[in-house]
């Protein structure tokens, strides 16, 4: 499968060439060619088992292909990049504030001194929960908290795996609006979802479902 190319002319941050991922004899994903460039905003869609999470992990460098090549350029290596897994990446026994600081330490970012004033905590309605253990938050607020943790590191790029899975429409709307607000400060954004309709402002849509782009 060859996925749609970016319209940008500068060299890619990440390039996949004949990249295949297999588990045993089962091939879960094959990408003939794909390039991620600075300025890209991408939503990867497809049904369960279509390889969305696998592609996201290969793009980010979290996973290696079984065969083929995934190249991360020097420009990519210079960026501060966050990967938010589907499970959220939160430490449930710690408060939201402690999780925010843990993410900042993990990526070596000092982050903002006054967390409570940050726009994402206000827009996500998370300020009342700064001293609440993340394990005590609802599923929707946990997804918002995970995104807030990523944004608190002041990243250059974000990979987010199915951020809308299993949350109600109200929290989903807040999360999408937050991502749209963050795009102006990001070098790139890549998310996975079951449908592109939730991310109408994405510049590129990659459909891994049968009958998607070949």
CATH topology of domain 39-62+75-207: Rossmann fold (3.40.50)
Taking only the tens place, the pLDDT of each residue in 135-167 is: 999 999 999 999 999 999 999 999 999 999 888
Q: How confident is the model at residue 64 (pLDDT cuts 50, 70, 90)?
A: very high
Q: What is the rounded CA–CA span in Å between residue 212 and residue 170?
A: 29
Taking only the tens place, the pLDDT of each residue in 198-209 is: 888 777 899 997
Q: How confident is the model at residue 187 (pLDDT cuts 50, 70, 90)?
A: very high
Sign of CA dihedral 100, 102, 108, 114: positive
Q: What is the rounded CA–CA span in Å between residue 26 and residue 30?
A: 11
Contacts of 69 (CB under 8 A, 6+ apart): 15, 16, 17, 18, 19
Q: How confident is the model at residue 9 (pLDDT cuts 50, 70, 90)?
A: low
In the prediction, which pLDDT does 30 show? 92
Q: How confident is the model at residue 33 (pLDDT cuts 50, 70, 90)?
A: very high
In the prediction, which pLDDT does 210 show? 66
What pTM was estimated for this model as a whole?
0.88
In the prediction, which pLDDT does 29 show? 93
In the prediction, which pLDDT does 141 show? 95
In the prediction, which pLDDT does 182 show? 93
Q: Domain boundaries in the chain?
A: 39-62+75-207
The token duo for 37 is 């460039």
Q: Inter-axis angle of helices 169-182 and 139-152, to 10 degrees?
A: 10
């Amino acid at each position: 499968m060859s996925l749609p190319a970016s319209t940008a002319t500068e060299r890619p941050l990440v390039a996949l060439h004949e990249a295949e991922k297999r588990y045993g004899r089962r091939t879960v994903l094959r990408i003939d060619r794909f390039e991620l460039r600075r300025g890209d905003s991408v939503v990867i869609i497809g049904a369960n088992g279509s390889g969305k999470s696998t592609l996201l992990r290969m793009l980010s460098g979290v996973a290696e292909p079984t065969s083929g090549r995934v190249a991360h350029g020097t420009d990519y290596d210079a960026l501060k990049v966050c990967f938010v897994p589907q499970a959220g990446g939160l430490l449930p026994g710690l408060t939201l504030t402690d999780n925010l600081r843990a993410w900042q330490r993990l990526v070596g970012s000092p982050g903002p001194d006054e967390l409570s004033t940050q726009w994402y905590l206000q827009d996500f309605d998370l300020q009342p929960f700064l001293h609440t253990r993340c394990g005590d938050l609802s599923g929707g607020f946990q997804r918002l908290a995970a995104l807030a943790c990523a944004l608190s590191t002041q990243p250059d790029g974000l990979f987010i795996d199915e951020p809308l899975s299993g949350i109600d429409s109200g929290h989903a709307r807040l999360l999408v609006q937050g991502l749209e607000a963050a795009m102006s400060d990001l070098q790139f954004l890549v998310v996975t979802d079951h449908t592109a309709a939730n991310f109408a402002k994405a510049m590129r849509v990659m459909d891994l479902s049968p009958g998607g782009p070949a």
